[in-house]
């Protein structure tokens, strides 16, 4: 599946997609929405401002993919291992302080982060649903500059999620890596192909948007 973005006037981008590619992208975006979860809308009679400033969770998600999408700010589960100040890299009292700081940061940021990721995935679904299919079932996807940014973020979230499910490492991804040498009989092959294709699509969009 070889989609290549081209720049359009006004800072947008366009790419020709066939029927299968459109179906795969939409399905993956919908699955990402289901993983992130529904939005926290104010209940009937609830003050919208109070809902806006409601606190989120203080502990990282137990699902490895969600933990990758919403990592600890100061190391720990889903965070940057081996980074300076990461949990597990210092004295017990320092590690405890970092855990508390991560919990505090998560409490006031995760809900907004989830909203942003939901909005980006919804933008992918809506732009795909708005396509006018050609006789062969394919279509040209044309994105505004703002939609391009939503697509970039959502493509990244999809690759992080799939990569976590596949337990992909940096060594797996080069041209000589194990991802390129999986036999067709491997049950992971379809998801690996989707992972590599999403990476190529993301890279193409990045290159198109570069000045």
Q: Give the residue from 108, 160, 102, 150 showing the smallest Cα distance to 128.
A: 150
**HEC per residue, 76-113:** CCCCCCCCCCCCCCCCHHHHHHHHHHHHHHHHHHHHHH
Give dist(CA 127, CA 135) in Å, integer: 19
Give dist(CA 173, CA 168) in Å, integer: 8
Measured on CA atoms in the order 172, 30, 13, 148, is the torsion positive or negative?
negative
Q: Residue 138: its pLDDT value, please? A: 86
Q: Residue 27: its pLDDT value, please? A: 97
Q: Can you tell me which residue has the tokens 């337990």?
A: 167
Q: Residue 83: its pLDDT value, please? A: 42
Q: Residue 148: its pLDDT value, please? A: 97
Q: How far is CA 45 from the centre of its chain?
A: 33
Q: What does pTM read for this prediction?
A: 0.79
Per-residue pLDDT of the chain (211 residues; tens, 9 = 90+): 347 899 999 999 999 999 999 999 999 999 999 999 875 554 455 555 555 555 666 677 889 999 899 888 776 544 444 344 445 555 777 777 887 787 888 877 788 889 999 999 999 999 999 998 888 778 999 999 999 999 999 999 999 999 999 888 765 555 545 777 778 888 888 999 999 999 999 999 999 999 7
Q: Residue 173: its pLDDT value, please? A: 58
Give dist(CA 89, CA 87) in Å, integer: 6
């Amino acid at each position: 599946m070889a989609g290549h973005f081209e720049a359009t006037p006004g800072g947008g981008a366009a790419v020709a997609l066939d029927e299968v590619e459109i179906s795969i992208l939409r399905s993956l975006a919908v699955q990402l929405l289901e993983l992130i979860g529904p939005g926290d809308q104010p209940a009937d009679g609830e003050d919208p401002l109070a809902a806006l400033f409601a606190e989120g969770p203080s502990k990282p998600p137990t699902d490895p993919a969600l933990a990758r999408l919403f990592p600890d700010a100061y190391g720990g589960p889903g965070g940057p291992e081996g980074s300076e100040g990461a949990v597990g890299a210092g004295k017990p009292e320092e590690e405890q302080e970092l855990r508390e700081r991560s919990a505090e940061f998560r409490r006031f940021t995760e809900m907004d982060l989830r909203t942003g990721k939901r909005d980006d995935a919804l933008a992918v679904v809506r732009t795909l649903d708005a396509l006018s299919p050609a006789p062969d079932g394919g279509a040209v996807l044309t994105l505004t500059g703002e939609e391009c940014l939503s697509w970039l973020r959502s493509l990244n979230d999809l690759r992080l999620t799939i990569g976590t499910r596949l337990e992909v490492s940096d060594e797996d991804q080069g041209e000589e890596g194990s991802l390129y040498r999986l036999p067709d009989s491997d049950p992971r092959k379809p998801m690996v192909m989707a992972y590599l294709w999403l990476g190529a699509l993301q890279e193409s969009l990045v290159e198109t948007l570069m000045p």
